[in-house]
Amino acid sequence: MNQKGLVIKSTGKWYIVRTNNGNNVRCSLAGKFRTQNLRSTNPIAVGDRIQFKPGNDSEGNGTIVVIEERKNHIIRKATKLSSCSHVLAANIDQALLVVTPSQPRTSTGFIDRFLVSANAFDIPVVIIFNKSDLYTTEDRKTVDTLIDLYKRIGHQCMITSALKGDGITELRDLMHDRISMIAGHSGAGKSALINAVEPGLRIKTCDISDANQKGRHTTTFAEMHLLTNGGFITDTPGIKEFGISSIEKKEIAGYYPEFFKLLHKCKYFNCSHIHEPGCAVKEAIDAGEINISRYKSYLSIMGGEEFDDEHD
Ligand SMILES: Nc1nc2c(ncn2[C@@H]2O[C@H](COP(=O)(O)OP(=O)(O)OP(=O)(O)O)[C@@H](O)[C@H]2O)c(=O)[nH]1
Ligand SMILES: [Mg+2]
Ligand SMILES: [Zn+2]
């Protein structure tokens, strides 16, 4: 008989499935799933609820035979021009986006692309500004400006230092009893933050490289960790670029909440806020009510070639 479980780790070849009674079972994927949806590099992601046939080989490996419907997921393309998508995590209550002003630097374009993808599934995103112990006066100003910007459009923001422990109690409270995923560039401190919240986990972390101030891709597979006080946190490998996937071009503006709020004031009901006259969004930008960095990231997404419908 099939058993139910939760995928807590995926290497692409093997899946570690946690059963309802807390056992971890190594499973492979039934062949039929491999050929479906070739545009995705991973038909099953961490967080998926599945059914498996317990194995009868000497190692007790199982075979995943049913993938239950997902409540939501965070999906991206590795590069803007890539034709393959990758699901970072499925069935999450919230996403934690780790941002650093330097070492490595996170751009607003990257943040906004992540937010658009999360908004498409109504997944709340908390922005975590990490490595506060390293901030220069300039970094601090940048972070304060970004916090002001993202709070205004409805995102909770936190400042943390995994190294010094700042903000870790708040982060622990935030993760309590929720299924969270953490994302960001390599070296931003995702694994270090999880270790700070839950020291028993001892996840491997690694210094960023001196030469280019970038991370070394220490975490290579997404993995869901159980929190002792309740909840799960999925650590993910660092991502360089965030290509939009599975969203149509005409939907993008709807995932910029401050643009969406003004759409009814635009002259055209289907205004793209790019070239139309009487556009309330452009007026709000001129009046300084909408941040120019948000409009720039919007134009970059709209001008890109990452939309699936255009590749078909
Ligand atoms: N100074 C300082 N260093 C930190 C902080 N958080 C993490 N680091 C360091 O930054 C480096 C990278 O941290 P990781 O936790 O491995 O980064 P990651 O985001 O998990 O990176 P990938 O697994 O490669 O995606 C490590 O040397 C950490 O010790 C912090 O708040 N302050
Ligand atoms: Mg890591
Ligand atoms: Zn408009």
Ligand 1, pocket residues at CB < 6 Å: 130-131, 133-134, 161-163, 184, 186-192, 205-208, 215-219, 237-238
Q: Which two tokens stand for residue 35?
A: 């050929």
Beta-strand pair 62-67/232-235:
unpaired
Indicate whether 241 belongs to any domain.
Answer: no
What is the pLDDT at residue 33?
Answer: 75
Peptide bond into 104 cis (omega under 30): yes
Indicate whether 242 belongs to any domain.
Answer: no
What is the pLDDT at residue 43?
Answer: 85
Residue 171: how many CA atoms within 13 Å on its side-chain side?
29
CATH number reported for the structural domain that contains residue 281 in this entry: 1.10.40.50
Question: Taking Cα atoms as reference points, which of 220, 212, 170 lies closest to residue 193?
Answer: 170
Q: Identify whether residues 123 and 228 lie together within a single domain.
A: yes
Q: Identify whether residues 229 and 263 lie together within a single domain.
A: no
DSSP conformation class of 304: S
User: How far from chain centre, in Å, is Cα 15?
Assistant: 20
Q: Identify whether residues 91 and 229 lie together within a single domain.
A: yes
Question: Taking Cα atoms as reference points, which of 244, 284, 287 lies closest to residue 82?
Answer: 244
Phi-psi region of 75 (alpha: psi -120 to 50; beta: other; left: phi over 0): beta
Q: Identify whether residues 42 and 183 lie together within a single domain.
A: no
Indicate whether 180 belongs to any domain.
Answer: yes
Q: Identify whether residues 44 and 141 lie together within a single domain.
A: no
- Spatial neighbors of 236 by CB under 8 A, at least 6 apart, are 88, 89, 181, 182, 183, 190, 219, 222
Q: Which residue owns the Cα nearest ligand 1 atom 32?
A: 131
What is the pLDDT at residue 312?
Answer: 39
Last residue of a domain, one of 204, 235, 266: 235
Element (H, E) at 301: helix 292-303
Ligand with minimal distance to 277 CA: 3
The SS3 assignment for 234 reads strand
Q: What angle do CA 239, 213, 45 make, to 5 degrees?
A: 15
- The domain total for the chain is 3
Ligand 1 atom closest to Cα of residue 207:
27
Spell out, as residue ranges, where the chain has pLDDT lower than 50: 310-312
What is the pLDDT at residue 209?
Answer: 84
Beta-strand pair 179-184/94-99:
parallel
- CA separation for the pair 21, 23 (Å, rounded): 6
Q: Identify whether residues 226 and 79 lie together within a single domain.
A: yes
Q: Are residues 101 and 143 in contact, defined by beta-carbon separation less than 8 angstroms?
A: yes
The angle, 0 to 180 degrees and rounded to 10, between the axes of the packed helices 108-119 and 292-303 is 70
What is the pLDDT at residue 166?
Answer: 98
Q: Identify whether residues 165 and 102 lie together within a single domain.
A: yes
Ligand 1 atom closest to Cα of residue 134:
1
The whole model's pTM is what? Answer: 0.95
CATH number reported for the structural domain that contains residue 12 in this entry: 2.40.50.140
- Spatial neighbors of 18 by CB under 8 A, at least 6 apart, are 5, 6, 8, 24, 25
Ligand 1 atom closest to Cα of residue 130:
31
Range of the domain at 287: 249-305
What is the pLDDT at residue 156?
Answer: 98
| Dist. CA 116 → ligand 1 center (Å) | 25
DSSP-H helix ranges across the chain: 31-34, 108-119, 137-152, 168-175, 190-197, 257-260, 280-286, 292-303, 308-311
What is the pLDDT at residue 81?
Answer: 77
Ligand with minimal distance to 272 CA: 3
What is the pLDDT at residue 311?
Answer: 44
Indicate whether 244 belongs to any domain.
Answer: no
Beta bridge partners of 184: 98
Ligand with minimal distance to 96 CA: 1
CATH number reported for the structural domain that contains residue 231 in this entry: 3.40.50.300
Last residue of a domain, one of 67, 84, 101: 67
Q: Identify whether residues 104 and 210 lie together within a single domain.
A: yes
Identity of residue 5: G
Q: Identify whether residues 150 and 194 lie together within a single domain.
A: yes
- Spatial neighbors of 22 by CB under 8 A, at least 6 apart, are none
Indicate whether 87 belongs to any domain.
Answer: yes
